[in-house]
Amino acid sequence: MKRNIEIKLIVIAVVVGVSLLSYFIKDIKMGLDLRGGMHLVLGVEAEKAVESTFERYVSEIRGALRSKRIRFQDVSLDNKQHLNIQLREKRSVADVEDIMEDYATLQLVNSDLEKGLLVYTMDERFIKEIKEIAVDQALQTIRNRIDQFGVAEPSIQKQGERRLLIQLPDIRDPDRALELIGKTALLEFKFLDEEHDISEALRGKKIVGSEILYEINRNTDTGEEISRRPWLLKMRTVITGASLTDARVSIDSQFNQPYVSITFDGSGARQFARITEDNVGRRLAIVLDNVVYSVPVINEPITGGKAQITGSFTMEEAKTLAIALRSGALPAPVTILENRTVGPSLGQDSVRQGLQAILIGGLLVVVFMVIYYGFSGLIADVTLFMNLIIVLGALSYLGATLTLPGIAGIILTIGMAVDANVLIFERIREELRLGKTVRAAVDNGFAKALVTILDANVTTLIAGVVLFQFGTGPVKGFAVTLSLGIMGTLFSSLFVSRTLFDALMARPRVQKLSI
């Protein structure tokens, strides 16, 4: 019996020691409501990803028709829902159908063979898949950007089908973080339209196949916009930033101005080399999110797979641009649905008030248990203190984030831990009133209270697990501490408390129990 008690005491000492070690070695993560920072809810415009896929199909089909020398009048989008192929000769319809076999996601919905018109639309299941992928890619892209931005312990997760919840604790530059997160970072290279007069386009004349985009000049010290210069560019994108492998900030030695140097992968480098080789003397615009950054002249073929993005950058703007390009373009634009900033003073107040609640509530419970149950109440207080140590140690070890609702979960745990001890003590009292010996009363008290304690705590644990699985933000924080607290309660109330009573009963001639 004595040997068995010693083993149990060693187990308790090891559990408490490991919990304390974990708590002191690894700090508990504080949530946004305790540390301060940014709380963002973003909406992903997944429909734009579908439009981009349609536009890519238009470009690819045009290229396929040209390569097979099929004469066509136009390949265009109708209301961004239908892809129209207008041929010049109706006899080419069969050849086009052969090409379209490679596009299994497009379905023929209408045709006029006499006029050489074929109308396709996208399969609904594929549209749904594109939207789901767009949201997942946006989540991963934003996570990559924030990781490179240097925010410690960010929380980034999906909320519903089209929303992203982002929490950035201790953020020091919220405006720059907001710019980085929302930047689409779609890099495109387009040729300058040197065949038409830009002044006519500015007066409203529509030029087929071309568009006006603007180059924005900013003050390099303040970042304020100074002027805008219009450029008439071909709408067709000759190469995008999808092939980028790296983007770094460099300094122009001549003008001491920052610029972004980019590197293409093998396929992109070959494509870029071919484009520049075939178009020496032409001007190639570098466009990012529909803003022109520079329109350099191609003086010679660029075969190294490297290019430069120059402009009136501040150093911070150049760094932000490089991060966005390295992490990839968002597959669809995002809109800010909610933007809240939690100040650090609010976080400190929340921590202080939460700790005060735990201390005051714990102290009242400790005093009550000693007054009402005497020495047995002191044993309950010891198990309660161990329970708190185990919960805090588990939070540290698991890397869980402590939130204000999490502190509420700890306070609730204190009440549940005491409740288990009260059930046991009242059962022991009943047995003593029936004339049982101290040892028999303790044995029967623990045995009879066991089922009730397990029932109450296990059902609450199931609720906590469900809250964690399906809840978000504060609900998850509450569920984590509640679940850990319940497991700690079962260990401390049933194992630690029983071991301490057994150690007390092991003393010779114990005839009375202070309870």
pLDDT for 213? 94
The model's pTM is 0.58
| Tens of pLDDT, residue by residue, the chain (515 residues) | 567 888 888 888 898 888 888 888 877 777 777 777 888 899 998 888 888 888 878 878 888 888 888 888 888 888 767 889 999 888 888 888 888 888 888 888 888 888 888 999 988 888 888 898 888 888 888 888 887 776 666 778 888 888 998 888 777 677 778 878 887 778 889 999 999 999 988 988 888 889 999 988 877 666 677 889 999 999 888 888 877 888 888 888 777 888 888 888 888 888 888 888 989 999 999 888 888 888 888 988 888 888 888 877 778 878 888 888 887 778 788 888 888 877 655 556 766 776 787 788 778 888 888 888 888 888 888 888 888 888 888 888 887 777 778 888 888 888 788 888 888 888 888 888 888 888 888 888 888 888 888 888 888 889 888 888 877 666 777 888 888 889 888 888 888 888 888 888 777 666 777 77
At 510 the pLDDT is 63
What are the tokens at 128? 């749904």
The ranges assigned to domains in the chain are 2-35+345-505, 48-126, 183-340
CA 483-162-157 angle, to 5 degrees, is 35
Residue 229, phi-psi category: left (phi > 0), alpha (psi -120 to 50), beta (remainder): beta
DSSP state, residue 26: S
* CA atoms within 13 A of residue 437's CA, in its CB half-sphere: 7
DSSP-derived 3-state class of residue 252: coil
3-state DSSP percent of the chain in helix, strand and coil, to 5: 55, 25, 25
pLDDT of residue 373: 86
Q: Top-level CATH class of 183-340? A: alpha beta
Predicted local confidence at residue 376, as pLDDT:
87
pLDDT the model gives residue 24:
86
Token digits of residue 362: 């714990």
| CATH of span 2-35+345-505 | 1.20.1640.10
d(CA 408, CA 33): 13
Q: What is the reported pLDDT for 312?
A: 72
pLDDT for 344: 59
511 three-class SS? coil
The dihedral of CA 316, 319, 323, 328: what is its sign?
Answer: positive
The Cα–Cα gap between 47 and 370 comes to 65
HSE-up (13 A, CA, CB side) for residue 458: 6
For residue 231, what pLDDT is reported? 95
- In sign, the C-alpha dihedral spanning 73, 278, 58, 236 is negative
C-alpha–C-alpha distance, residues 438 and 443, integer Å = 9
CATH of domain 48-126: 3.30.70.990
Angle value at C-alpha 249, between 293 and 145, nearest 5 degrees: 90
